[in-house]
Amino acid sequence: MKVNIYWSKRDFRLHDNPALFACIKNCEEYGAYFLPIFILEDYMTEAKPDFQFGYPSRFFLSKCLPEFAKNFKRFEIVKGKGAQTILNINKSIKNENRNCEIKVFVNEDVYVDFYQQIKKLKQQGIHLEVFKDQLTVGKDIKSGAGNQYSVFTPFKKNVWEEFLMAEVFPVVNVKHIKYFEEKIGTLKVENNFESIWSTFSKNRFFKVAECELNIDTELGFIPDFESLDNFYYSESECLKRFTKYLEVDLLGYKEYRDSLEKDKTSKMSLGLAWGLVSARTLKQKILMHFDTNFLNINWFKLSDEDAGPIYFLSELIWREFYKYLLFHNGELMNQEFQVKFRGNIQWVEEKEALKRFKAWIRGETGYKVVDAAMMQLAKSGWMHNRSRMIVASILTKNLGVDWRWGQEYFRAMLLDLDEASNNGGWQWGASVGADPKPIRIFNPYLQAENYDKNNVYQKKWLGEERFSLISVPLVEHKDARNDALRRYGL
C-alpha cells in the first residue's frame, strides 16, 4: 500500500503547483492513495510575539484555506508542530498498515525554519520529495566574480532569461484519483472559516527591544477586513483579477506604479505571498498576452508598449532577489546586510524612540503623507509600495528609530506579508541592505507632491477634516536630514 501526502504550506493553488503536480502524477503512475494536509502550527494559533504570525495573517488563512480545501474530496487541516505532526501521521498510518509506503511531497521555501523541519523529518526516515517553488531562479547563482549577488540590476540581467523561460506546471485534476480514507490520528479542524478562526488567538501583540506592544491599545480599533473590496481569498478570484489587470492597466504600469493618487497597482502581492498564484504563472500570462518572450531587451531604450510589462516583470524579479538574499543569509531578519552598519548606527535612545515609534504607528508624525499611509495600513492591512518606502525612510532617517521595529510592526499588520520582501524592503528603506547607495533620505513633502498631487490619497486615509488641519512634524525635515547623516556616520 502506498500513500502520498501532499503537505500544503503557502501554495493554495492548482495551477503551477510543483509538489501537488508531482504528487498526483505519482499517484496515477503507482496507484498510490492521496492525502492532502495543512498543518495549523502552534506558532500560528498561539500568536506569541516571539514567533510573529499577525492578526491579518490569521484572518486571511482562515478565509483562504477553506477555499482551497473545496478543490479536494478530502483535505485534512490538523493542529500541531510542523515536522512532529508529519511524524505522528506517518506513525498512525503505519500502525494500521505495517507494510505501507509513505511519501511526503512539499514545495520548498527559503526560510531557515523550513530546512530545519525537513532535516528533522529526513533524520527520522521520512521519505520526502521537496520541489523548487518559492524561488524560481537558481539559489546558487553567482556573479561573474564568483560571489553572491548584492546588487539588484546585475542579478536581474543574469536571471532574466531563466525567469522568463521557467517551466509552468499545468493545472492538476485532484478529483479522479484514489483518496486515503482512513483516520490519521491527529487533532483535526473543520474546513470552514468559523472552525479555523476559532483556533487562533485574537491578540495583536508584537515586540520591539524586549518591549511588548498591544496594537489594540495603540490604535483603538480593529480593521474590518470583511468590508474591504481590495482583497480576494481564492486562486480563481486572483487569476480573474490579474486577467482584468492585464487587459486594462498593465501597459501603463511604468507610468502609474508609483502614483498614490491613481493606485493602479495589481494587488498581486497578496496572491504571491499566500501562493494563490505563482510568479511563473503571472509572467506566463504576460508573455502570452503580449505574444512575445521579452528576451532581447534594450534596457536603455524601452518602447512605450514594452515598458509596462517589462517593469512589472522586473518587480517580480525583485521578489526573487529578496528570497535569494534571505535564503543565503538567514540572519537578515535581525541583522543588517551591510557589515559596516552592524551595531554602528546611533539610533535614538529607547525612551524617545518608543515615543516616536508609537506616534508613527498611530499616524501622528505630522507628515501628512506618512500619517495617511499608516492609516491605510491600520485600516486595511495593506499599503501602497511607494508609501512603504516613504514610511520606512521617515521612521529610520527622520525619527531615528531602528528599522527592525518597523519590520516587526509590518509583520504584525500586513495581509500580504512576504517575509523576504518585507525584510528586503525595510533594509532598503533604512539604507542598510542590498543594492546600496550611501544613504536615501526621502523628503515627505516632495514625495506627497510627486505622487499625490491632488491630495486624493491623503484625504482618503486621513479624512477631509484632519487633512485640512495644520500639522507640525515631530522632527523638522531639514533638521532630520542632518541628524540622519550624522547618525549613519556620513
- Predicted pLDDT at 42: 94
- Predicted pLDDT at 13: 98
For 38-66, give the DSSP string: EEEEHHHHH--GGG---HHHHHHHHHHHH
Grid look-up 477634516 returns 465
Which CATH superfamily, name and number, covers 1-134?
Answer: HUPs (3.40.50.620)
H-assigned helices in 228-381? 235-248, 253-256, 268-274, 279-290, 304-328, 350-361, 368-380
Cα dihedral 120, 325, 138, 314 sign: positive
- Enumerate helices (H) and strands (E) in the chain, giving the number of each: 22, 8
Give strand pairing partners of 37.
Answer: 7, 76
Q: Where in the chain is the domain with CATH 1.25.40.80?
A: 136-167+229-328
Quote the DSSP letter at residue 141: -
309 near 294, Cβ under 8 Å? yes
- Predicted pLDDT at 305: 87
* Cα-based angle 176, 178, 182 (whole degrees, multiple of 5): 140
- Predicted pLDDT at 46: 95
CATH T-level fold of 136-167+229-328: 1.25.40
Quote the DSSP letter at residue 171: P
Q: Which three cell numbers stand for residue 74?
A: 478530502
Residues of the chain with pLDDT under 50: none
If one counts every other C-beta atom within 10 angstroms of the C-beta of residue 274, the result is 25
**Which residues have a Cβ under 8 Å from the Cβ of 238 and sit 6 or more positions away?**
232, 268, 270, 271, 276, 277
251 near 266, Cβ under 8 Å? no
- Predicted pLDDT at 319: 98
- Predicted pLDDT at 97: 80
Give the rounded distance of the alpha carbon of 417 from its chain centre.
4
If one counts every other C-beta atom within 10 angstroms of the C-beta of residue 241, the result is 19
Question: What single letter denotes the amino acid at residue 99?
Answer: N
- Predicted pLDDT at 302: 86
- Predicted pLDDT at 156: 96
CA distances from 243 to 235, 249, 374 (A): 12, 10, 30
Q: Which of 153, 192, 298 has the alpha carbon at shortest distance from 306?
A: 298
- Predicted pLDDT at 206: 96
Grid look-up 480563481 returns 236
196 near 89, Cβ under 8 Å? no
229 near 264, Cβ under 8 Å? no
Q: Which three cell numbers stand for residue 270?
A: 497578496
Q: Which CATH number is 339-487 given?
A: 1.10.579.10
Q: Where in the chain is the domain with CATH 3.40.50.620?
A: 1-134
214 near 370, Cβ under 8 Å? no
Radius of gyration of the chain (CA): 23
Q: Where in the chain is the domain with CATH 1.10.579.10?
A: 339-487
Quote the DSSP letter at residue 347: P
